[in-house]
């Protein structure tokens, strides 16, 4: 009950509240987060720290998605949320899920050994490594993240079919007793793909589509057969100070196979992440298995940890995987299952990330991001690039300037000699 003295003011206040509901009544927290994320993304784009596509979901809803920069710099084809990018090691999530499906249906035993499925594999080591150990990176195979076969080298550019490649490169001596030590092994996941092909009678690509991609409507996802650009996908670039960009070195995707040979989009990867949060596609038992961490916090295609004290969202579960295709593509998916959130960033320019994903995480958990600044290397490069670009655009004036500088230097040296 209000006195007559305040009645007029109350009516005016009620009118203002009704007239401006967005500003005063129904503030949308997700809209506020989206604006903050976009401000951050624009900053990264302006500094040349982001070229790709991004999607952020919170509380089970997409709150932000955007393409940034170019899929191809020569043709000025823009990146969009539906642009296809190579996703490298994020492929392991799909290979692991397929293996667990086959295990649940009795076609594969996780406790069986590599030699049980691949008769050509050397018996002294293949009879000791289990399928589960391959999936968990605890098979005893040496870490090969830095090996030439999986890097921007001439060796990696040579075409090789998966079985041919595995026979040649993926039968080394073990560096540890199986089950005792974690070592990231691309070869181990290549073997998983070959085992899946043998037990199902299907090519890995066909199995991937039949069991995962087609049912989920992931129509812009598949295996890169060295034809991503021809399919309209992004071209991989290497970032240099300035920034400047050069096309990334060629790497044959065939032998990367089930360890890192897939392409996808941020929108398709969001469909995949929704499936991993729903009982409609995977059973609760299988989903729990996928995200159960083993040695080094590695589960089945995911690192699963708790956000450390002192960071935004401390104590929340974080499941993440990075996909690294050297000097070409970089992908990162971060899931926060307790709040139904996910950050997906796909890049076709390989270089510094400058903490973008961590800054978006800060915004999700209502903390302040740390805005990046222009690097000293970029500033120095711009100082040198400015005259070079002027000379390139104005060859006559550039030649005259060069002659003047040369003459000035000659006169200076001549005077010093006289002194």
Question: In angstroms, rounded to a whole number, what is the distance separating the alpha carbons of residues 307 and 320?
Answer: 11
Continuous segment of H or E residues that includes residue 244? strand 244-247
pLDDT at 417 (0 to 100): 60
pLDDT at 271 (0 to 100): 98
pLDDT at 299 (0 to 100): 98
Q: What is the mean pLDDT of residues 77-98?
A: 98
Bridge partners of 350? 238
pLDDT at 29 (0 to 100): 72
CB 232 within 8 A of CB 135: no
**Neighbouring C-beta atoms of residue 167, cutoff 10 Å:** 16
Split at pLDDT 50, 70, 90, the class of 97 is very high
Q: What is the mean pLDDT of residues 101-120?
A: 98
Long-range (24+ apart) CB contacts under 8 A made by 378-381 are 378/47, 378/48, 378/241, 378/242, 378/243, 380/241, 381/240, 381/241, 381/242, 381/243, 381/244
Q: Rounded to an integer, what is the distance from CA 158 to the centroid of its chain?
A: 24
Split at pLDDT 50, 70, 90, the class of 388 is low
Query: Dihedral of CA 68/233/210/325: which sign?
Result: negative
Any idea which of 63-77, 284-298, 332-346, 379-393 has the lowest mean pLDDT?
A: 379-393
Q: Considering the chain, what percentage of its residues have pLDDT values greater than 70? A: 86
- Residues 196-218: pLDDT tens digits? 999 999 999 999 999 999 999 99
CB 56 within 8 A of CB 62: yes
Reading the block at residue 137, the tokens are 């990176």
Any idea which of 133-147, 156-170, 189-203, 372-386 has the lowest mean pLDDT?
A: 372-386
Closest CA to 143 of 111, 89, 88, 181: 181
Split at pLDDT 50, 70, 90, the class of 404 is confident
Continuous segment of H or E residues that includes residue 288? helix 284-290
- Residues 318-334: pLDDT tens digits? 999 999 999 999 999 99
CB 364 within 8 A of CB 58: yes
Q: What is the mean pLDDT of residues 91-96?
A: 98
pLDDT at 407 (0 to 100): 74
Domain spans in the chain, listed from the N-terminal domain onward = 31-364, 376-406
- Residues 369-381: pLDDT tens digits? 999 999 888 888 8
pLDDT at 13 (0 to 100): 39
- Residues 7-64: pLDDT tens digits? 344 444 343 334 433 333 345 677 799 999 999 999 999 999 999 999 999 999 999 9
pTM: 0.86
CB 86 within 8 A of CB 327: no
CA angle 229, 232, 237 (to 5 degrees): 45
pLDDT at 399 (0 to 100): 65
Max avg pLDDT among 16-25, 72-81, 406-415: 72-81
Mean pLDDT (the chain) is 90
Question: In angstroms, rounded to a whole number, what is the distance separating the alpha carbons of residues 154 and 171?
Answer: 21
Split at pLDDT 50, 70, 90, the class of 402 is low
Reading the block at residue 255, the tokens are 């032998």
What secondary structure does DSSP assign to 50-107, as a single string?
--EEEEEEETTEEEEEEEESEEETTTTEEP-TT--EE-GGGHHHHHHHHHHHHHHTTS
Decide which of 3.40.710.10, 3.60.40.10, 3.40.605.10, 3.90.79.10 is the CATH code for 31-364: 3.40.710.10
Q: What is the mean pLDDT of residues 265-269?
A: 98
Q: Where are the beta strands (DSSP E) in 326-396?
A: 329-336, 341-347, 349-350
317 pLDDT higher than 50: yes
Which is more confident, 120 or 23? 120
Q: Which residues contact 390 (CB under 8 A, 6 or more apart)?
A: 397, 398
């Amino acid at each position: 009950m209000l006195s007559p003295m305040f009645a007029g003011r109350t009516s005016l206040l009620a009118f203002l509240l009704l007239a401006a509901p967005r500003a005063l009544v129904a503030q949308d927290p997700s809209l506020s987060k989206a604006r903050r994320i976009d401000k951050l993304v624009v900053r990264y784009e302006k500094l040349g720290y982001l070229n790709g596509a991004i999607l952020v979901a919170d509380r089970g809803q997409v709150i932000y998605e955007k393409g940034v920069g170019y899929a191809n710099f020569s043709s000025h084809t823009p990146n969009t949320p539906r642009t296809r990018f190579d996703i490298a090691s994020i492929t392991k999530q799909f290979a692991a899920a397929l293996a667990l499906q086959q295990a649940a249906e009795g076609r594969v035993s996780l406790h069986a050994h590599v030699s049980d499925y691949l008769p050509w594999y050397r018996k002294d080591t293949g009879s000791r490594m289990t399928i589960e150990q391959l999936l968990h990176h605890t098979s005893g195979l040496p870490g090969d993240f830095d090996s030439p076969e999986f890097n921007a080298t001439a060796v990696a550019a040579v075409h090789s079919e998966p079985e041919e490649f595995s026979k040649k490169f993926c039968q080394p001596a073990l560096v540890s007793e199986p089950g005792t030590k974690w070592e990231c092994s691309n070869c181990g996941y290549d073997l998983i793909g070959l085992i899946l092909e043998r037990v199902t009678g299907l090519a890995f690509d066909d199995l991937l589509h039949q069991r995962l991609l087609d049912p989920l409507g992931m129509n812009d996802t598949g295996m890169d057969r060295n034809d991503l650009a021809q399919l309209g996908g992004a071209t991989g670039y290497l970032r240099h100070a300035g920034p400047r960009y050069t096309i990334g070195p060629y790497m044959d995707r065939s032998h990367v196979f089930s360890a890192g040979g897939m392409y996808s989009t941020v929108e398709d990867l969001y469909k995949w992440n929704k499936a991993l949060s729903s009982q409609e596609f995977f059973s609760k038992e299988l989903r729990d298995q996928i995200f159960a961490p083993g040695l080094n916090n590695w589960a089945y295609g995911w690192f699963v940890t708790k956000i450390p004290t002192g960071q935004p969202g401390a104590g929340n579960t974080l499941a993440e995987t990075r996909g690294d295709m050297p000097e070409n593509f970089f992908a990162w998916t971060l899931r926060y299952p307790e709040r139904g959130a996910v950050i997906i960033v796909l890049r076709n320019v390989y270089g510094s990330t400058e903490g973008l994903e961590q800054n978006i995480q800060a915004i999700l958990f209502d903390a302040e991001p740390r805005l990046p600044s222009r690097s000293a290397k970029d500033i120095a490069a711009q100082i040198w690039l400015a005259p070079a670009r002027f000379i390139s655009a104005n060859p006559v004036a550039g030649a005259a300037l060069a002659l003047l500088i040369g003459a000035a230097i000659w006169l200076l040296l001549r005077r010093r000699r006289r002194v």
